[in-house]
Amino acid sequence: MSSIHFYLKRIHIIGMIFIIISLVAWSADWSGLVYACPYCRLQRTVIGLLGFIMLFKGLHNMIVIYIASVLGFMGAHVAATQNFMGWLKINKGVFVFKDDIYLDPFLLSGAALFIIVGQVWLLILSMRNRADSLKSN
């Protein structure tokens, strides 16, 4: 079994982990621990929605994957835009990490970008894997 099949077999567990990550991020927003950032809110919402779609392997058809791709690319675009603003500050020589480095928007937007792209890839590969298994039956 290849390593990708390891993740595809457990896509529902991975989806649940991402839903928990999204809910923890939202709870930090609701509690006032972090700034109510519209970029961050969209990213955590997309991560949660994609995680929800990952829970239901039976729904991984072309239409659902298309919707997940649109959501994912929107979230990735916003994450990349937010991350680029950090690179712009680095280029100008004014970049400083936040005191609470684990709440730094530059690092969190980079993490969101990696998570969202990974979620979209897993969903696309899940659909392909499902289609291949239906062909063989």
If you average pLDDT over residues 46-63, what whole number do you get? 91
What percentage of the chain has pLDDT greater than the value 70? Answer: 94
Per-residue pLDDT at 100: 82
> pLDDT tens digit string along 86-123?
999 999 999 888 888 878 889 999 999 999 999 999 99
> The pTM is what?
0.89
| Nearest one of 110, 105, 122 to 36, comparing CA atoms | 105
Q: What is the DSSP letter of 100?
A: S
Per-residue pLDDT at 35: 80
Under 8 Å CB-to-CB from 71, ≥6 apart: which residues? 46, 49, 50
**pLDDT tops 60 at residue 1:** no
Per-residue pLDDT at 78: 97
Which of 85 and 134 is assigned the larger pLDDT? 85
pLDDT band at 124 (very low <50, low <70, confident <90, very high): very high
Under 8 Å CB-to-CB from 41, ≥6 apart: which residues? 29
If you average pLDDT over residues 64-72, what whole number do you get? 95
pLDDT band at 130 (very low <50, low <70, confident <90, very high): confident
pLDDT band at 134 (very low <50, low <70, confident <90, very high): low
Contact 49, 60 (CB under 8 A): no
Provide φ and ψ at 101, rounded to 5°. Answer: -60, -30
Domain chopping of the chain, boundaries = 3-130
